Chains A and B, each alone.
Chain A
Amino acid sequence: DSGVTQTPKHLITATGQRVTLRCSPRSGDLSVYWYQQSLDQGLQFLIHYYNGEERAKGNILERFSAQQFPDLHSELNLSSLELGDSALYFCASSFRISGANVLTFGAGSRLTVL
């Protein structure tokens, strides 16, 4: 158990629908990151929150949005879903060791859009 909790683990939905993925970071970590991993590909950075504030945006579609709440958990909202949105969505939280910002990943939420 990495300490980063993601729900749901699996989600199957239809095109045009909206889903919400949830992430609870490790205790004490203030940063949350969202990544998308399509089949057999590397990770694509979506967005980074630090203590409730958006810090950086990557290749996140306008149909996607995220937020981090006062209790530091985060939600990633995906709307108007398309077949190509099927992927593994990772949440990670971070802590610093010797200056390095080390990310700890959750187990991922696998989204299948039919």
Chain B
Amino acid sequence: AQTVTQSQPEMSVQEAETVTLSCTYDTSESNYYLFWYKQPPSRQMILVIRQEAYKQQNATENRFSVNFQKAAKSFSLKISDSQLGDTAMYFCAFMWDSNYQLIWGAGTKLIIKP
């Protein structure tokens, strides 16, 4: 069975600092996709970044980047120059190619302090 683990229930950093959120997953699939979603206090679920497992290059979206270590089954999210608006729950999610279901981690609550 596929599982996703986020080991940090809560983190807080000062504005403008860099923060890394951890995610590990377990799968025997070879073709899969990984996602980070953000859920701010408004509760809207927003896609932050995605990574295709067949791509060696780490995905980047502006201040957000991932460190994808396929052998270690690790998919961490780095937020650079953190902003107050980054305060949210962050969920790591996994999807394998033959199935459209997302497997979710428990989430990390990130607080950016002014």
Give residues in A with beta carbon < 8 Å to B. 2, 31, 33, 41-43, 45, 48, 50, 55-56, 58, 88, 90, 92, 94, 97-105, 107-108, 110
Complex contact B104–A42 (CB within 8 A)? yes
| B52: contacting residue among A55, A88, A98, A103, CB under 8 A | A98
Across the interface, name the chain B residue whose C-beta is closest to A43.
B104
Interface residues as binary, B31-66 with A (CB distance below 8 Å gives 1, 0 otherwise)? 001010100001111110010100000000000000
B45: chain A residues at CB < 8 Å are 43, 90, 92, 105, 108
B104: chain A residues at CB < 8 Å are 42-43
- Minimum CB–CB distance for A84 against chain B, Å: 19
Q: Tell me if B95 is interfacial: C-beta within 8 Å of chain A.
A: yes
| B47: contacting residue among A45, A48, A88, A104, CB under 8 A | A104
| A108: contacting residue among B44, B47, B105, CB under 8 A | B44
9 A/B residue pairs, CB under 8 Å, sorted by A: A2-B44, A2-B46, A43-B91, A43-B104, A48-B101, A56-B100, A99-B33, A105-B44, A105-B46
Complex contact B33–A56 (CB within 8 A)? no
For chain B, give the interface size range. 20 to 34
A55: chain B residues at CB < 8 Å are 100
Given known contacts A42-B104, A48-B101, is B52 in contact with A100 (CB within 8 Å)?
yes
| B33: contacting residue among A2, A42, A50, A100, CB under 8 A | A100
Complex contact B101–A56 (CB within 8 A)? yes
Complex contact A102–B50 (CB within 8 A)? yes
Complex contact B43–A103 (CB within 8 A)? no
Complex contact B95–A100 (CB within 8 A)? yes
* A56 CA / B33 CA spacing, docked (Å): 18
